[in-house]
Structure 1
Amino acid sequence: MICGTDEAGRGPIAGPVVAAAVILDPDNPIEGLNDSKKLSEKKREKLSLEIKEKALYWAIAQSDPDEIEAINILWASMKAMQRAVEALPVKPDMVLVDGNRVPELKVPAKAIVGGDASEQCIAAASILAKVERDRQMLKWHELYPQYEFDKHKAYGTPKHLELLEKHGPCPIHRKGFNPVKRLLANL
């Protein structure tokens, strides 16, 4: 069984990095899988439901902002992917990882740059991770509406940076990320 894993949320300046691991059913293909960044939100939502329904196995895990601060975003991403793979109820024969590094796993793994666009199982993981992270950011928006996380999902957009400047960071902002770090240095 081949598992794909990918993460969502390395670039934002707030919130968790979320990873998913997916083992697709070769006898039950899913049309339209692609890198989550190349799909509309509506298409991702639809595919997420289909992946959860048709995949043999899937799991989602994350690293929260405190862990990101403690070990940096790269290692937090690796940790989230490791957790997702380990959360599967079966041990895959091989794990395909989007990117140029593989997390520490107890099974063989291969990094594939651009894998979320070339490997169906990685694309599926990319979609699950992105949809889950976006949903979490909508929940964070309810707690911190002044940052408008519902609009930018915590990416460092001009509007988010403006709101960060106006309100200062909230507990889920990544204090080691430059825009937040600069703001904190000037307080």
Structure 2
Amino acid sequence: MTISPRPVTCMLTMVMMSMVLPASAQPGEERPEKSPLLPVSGRIVDGTSNLVGSSVKVFCDNDLVFEQVTERSGKFQIGLALGHLFTVQFEHPGHVTKRIVVDTHANIDPKELAMMPLQMDVMMLPISRYEGADTDVMDMPFAMVRYDKRIGAFVQDLEYTADMQRANGAALLQAGRARK
């Protein structure tokens, strides 16, 4: 899959060394005006250790707009432009892919974004743990995040996440029974 240039309306940027760089800008291309960003950071683990070399892919309107590979710490850091629907996909060889949908449509003061970073610690399980189970449900996003006016922060939909955790547990149980 190749990264296609995206219009400014769907700009994703990576936050590095306190400098904001548009991921969609091509070499020699004029950088668009900076868009307010929701800082997103986290770590990818397998339950016991950091997953080195994991891929963090970000999609906007189903187009890949950014990709990052984790280093030894398993940590990642990205910024998502306000006013869009993103899918953040986590991949690691031999592990089940996880997706998290982040809806950044929010009527908030951009200055407040720095005070509400979104932390995602993602645990990935080996594909082998699911042998013999129907894993179609794992193609769905594992969590959905959106701005909650009452709380004044970006939060996950707890009911949806609980449903996905139950589905994941059922798949693991089915795989365990299939191995017997």
Length-normalised TM-score, structure 1: 0.27
Length-normalised TM-score, structure 2: 0.28
Higher helix share: 1
